[in-house]
Chain A
Amino acid sequence: MAQDGARRVLAGVDAAARRLGLSPGMSAAHAGALVPGLHLVPAAPEADAAALERLGLWCQRYAPIVAIDPPDGLLIDVAGAAHLFGGEASLLTDLSARLERTGIAARLALADTPGCAWALARFGAGGIVPPGGAAQALAPLPMAALRLGLEALRGLRDVGLTRVGQLVDKPRAALRLRFGPELLFRLDRALGREPEPLTALAAPETPRVALRFAEPVGARESLERVTADLCARLVPELERRGLGTRRLDLVFTRVDRLDQAIRIGTARPSRDAAHLARLLAERLALVDPGFGIEEAVLTASRVEPLAETQESHLASHLAAGPQVPDLAALVDTLLVRLGAARVYRLAPVESDLPERAVRRVPALAAPLGAVWPADLPRPVRLLAPPEPVSAVAEIPDAPPLFFVWRNIRHRIARADGPERILGEWWVAEAETDLTRDYYRVETEDGERFWLFRDGPMEAQGRWWLHGLGEA
């Protein structure tokens, strides 16, 4: 509820109020008459703006460049940072889940350009627009989705243009003549034909160093030198504060005022300039220098306390006791290069089903000490899914005499089995009737295979090949 001259009007309504028919701009007296017992709170635009800025700073956990879109929006540039969350879709689900948990109602959209994302979040259904799909996503939206002024909207409605898609095939000169340059400007920005730079928020108190260049730089080697230089300047600042960084944001500002940002994360807090520079250099390929880069800013956006460590090589050799090798640096590099989902350790799962017996754990997790049962031989390669074979066994429960796999016949010389494995009905109901009789077989050449029959022979159980090799 805000003050508009002498009247008190509603400045904002929540979802429940909206359902009851209230909307912003309605006078407070009218609203009070419609809904008895209405809870009115004085509007505080400065507090709202400050809260939005705090939310924007918190959103920097997702990407370095976050801009405020007043009064109630945020624009986050996730290019180059989505990999740390396992992809754009996971990033969006994580963000919406966290906002929901905090009690903030939000609509999210992800697209190539800020304009398209803005339009989809406010006027569309939100979600992710595939790269290059901006035109298609914008087409059914109303004209207000282009962030136009009221006169322009009225003018467009007068000539019958109500959807963005109708503008696409109209001659540009005529549109500019009738509605001014603003319409085309907004349309081009939304479709990505014109760039739209964002003014990024800068969090206070985080360690950051900046370099400005008299002449724009663009060559890859120069960027690598700049990166190394910035890391070397940031490390003393971290040392002074007793901090190590877990996340670095490197933002390059181009001559045309567009920002290109890269972000890397480490598994443990680090102050090693060479290591950090190397991790950043891995992602430099994503930076498009355009006509040149004028300024580079390196921010340690996530820091943790880091104690003094003995860095001397000789000292580590002379120290008594076995050395625990530090895998953190190796794992960091592989994570940045390959992505979070592709570096891991494996650990046992207590399950009889072979395809469920292994799970992934983070590469730097503490040793679990668990092993699979030691007495059961297991194949080296597991086929997922198992491949059908035809096999002939002379008596029930005896191993087969030969089997045919991929049109090659293998005669079985030695075999062992059956090892019966039952389905886990508590995991999946469909497995209640699952019975597999596994046979380890060896052909005449000595090759070993792992076959199973998915039911008793009397019930026409079919044969499958599940594994190759044997240990």
Chain B
Amino acid sequence: MPPPRSPDAPTLAELRRLTEPAGLGAGSGAGTEAVPTLPFGVPELDAALPGGGLARGALHQIHEGGPRGRYAATAVLFAGGILARLDGPVLWCLHSRDLFAPALARVGLHPDRVVYCETWRDAEVLPAMEEGLRHRGLAGVVGELTRMTLTPSRRLQLAAEGSGVTALVVHRLCAGEAADPEPSAARTRWRVAPAPSDSMNRRTDRHMGRPRWRLELQRSRGGSPGAWIVEACDAQGRLAVPAGLADRPAAPERVQRRAAR
């Protein structure tokens, strides 16, 4: 009679995955099932990503669309929402001192989980991110960069694969710089921009609802690009599709907000 197994004991499949060398499962078509993913909970978004969600243990780039590229406010919230739904501490490599922590707490990233390091230049952010990506226990590492070329992105991707820590790069553009897509080894590349929070232009009712973003998946290894209008992260970091934009004959006067499950 086999001995009773405790619910926390790892299965044989988990042990096998632990002992296989890192890097074999990632990148190849057959191995994409082995990479753990974090689903967004938005069906259209998850369908466009290989594995049904954002790949963990990989590098993802997030650009800020819109004229306020230097502040990268929506990109920061997008990154915060992703990390809020992961477990474990987070290392955030700052580019300047203007990040307001209560905003991250509002999308579900508890302040006790985040260790900040003040790295003022790209040349300091990249080594700090690599250092964080070497520590297995972190949920994710975020770095605020202006630009990232191919070699550093490869290093970050390899470091993330080796430890299973998700790496997010939030691009802050200098004033006047166009967002030229540089070649990079990141698994996905996103562009987030603020969108009007109601698709209908109502001059009479100026009520502020949940913010909306225009979320664009520009590049995804093994997936297909796309663009969506989504509702910004809620208090648990989840995105949602605005009900008014779904396939319906006519939007009712009172817009019902449907949160994704």
Contacts and interface: CB of A to CB of B under 8 A. Distances in A.
Contacts of A459: none
Interface stretch (B27-35, B110-118, B219-227): B110-118
A137 B6 CA distance: 73
B155 interface: no
A32 B87 CA distance: 77
Contacts of A445: 66-67, 194-196
Contact of B102 (A358, A384, A416): A358
Nearest to B94: A342
A414 interface: yes
Interface stretch (A41-49, A126-134, A364-372): A364-372
A414 B131 contact: no
A358 B102 CA distance: 8
A334 B75 CA distance: 25
Given A343-B117, A371-B110, A414-B197, A325 B211 contact: no
Nearest to B209: A414
A15 B249 CA distance: 93
Contacts of B100: 354, 358, 378-382, 467
Contacts of A448: 73, 194, 211
Interface string B102-129: 1111110011101111110000100110
A152 to B, nearest CB: 51
Interface in A137-168: none
Given A343-B116, A345-B116, A414-B207, A471 B98 contact: no
A468 B71 contact: yes
B14 to A, nearest CB: 9
Nearest to B214: A446
B143 to A, nearest CB: 13
A345 B88 contact: no
Contacts of A347: 111-112
Contact of B98 (A342, A369, A381): A381
Contact of B18 (A317, A333, A370, A414): A317
Interface in B187-231: 193-198, 201, 206-208, 211-213
A320 interface: yes
A358 B76 CA distance: 18
Nearest to B196: A446
A413 interface: yes
A442 B208 CA distance: 8
Report the interface size class on chain A.
35 or more
A446 B195 contact: yes
Contacts of A203: none
Given A325-B89, A414-B207, A372 B115 contact: no
Interface in A355-378: 357-358, 363, 367-372, 374, 376-378
A379 B103 contact: yes
Interface string B63-88: 00011100101101100100000001
A380 B196 contact: no
B16 interface: no
Interface residues of B, number: 63
A469 interface: yes
Contacts of B159: none
B260 interface: no
Interface stretch (B44-52, B132-140, B177-185, B240-248): B132-140
A329 interface: yes
A323 interface: yes
Of B98, B107, B193, the most chain A CB neighbours within 10 A belong to B98
Interface in B2-23: 6, 8-10, 18
Of A318, A330, A354, A468, the most chain B CB neighbours within 10 A belong to A330
Nearest to B64: A469
Contacts of A363: 115
A362 B91 CA distance: 14
Contacts of A372: 101-102, 105
A288 B213 CA distance: 53
B99 interface: yes
Nearest to B101: A346
Nearest to B14: A317
Contacts of B80: 471
B239 interface: no
B68 A447 contact: yes
Interface in A331-348: 331, 333-334, 337-338, 341-348
B235 interface: yes
A327 to B, nearest CB: 6
A323 B138 CA distance: 11
Of all A-B residue pairs in the complex, the 4 with the closest CB atoms, nearest first, are: A325-B137, A469-B73, A471-B103, A471-B106
20 contacts: A324-B137, A325-B135, A325-B137, A330-B134, A333-B131, A338-B124, A345-B114, A346-B114, A347-B112, A370-B111, A374-B106, A379-B73, A380-B103, A381-B99, A381-B100, A383-B98, A416-B207, A447-B67, A469-B73, A471-B103
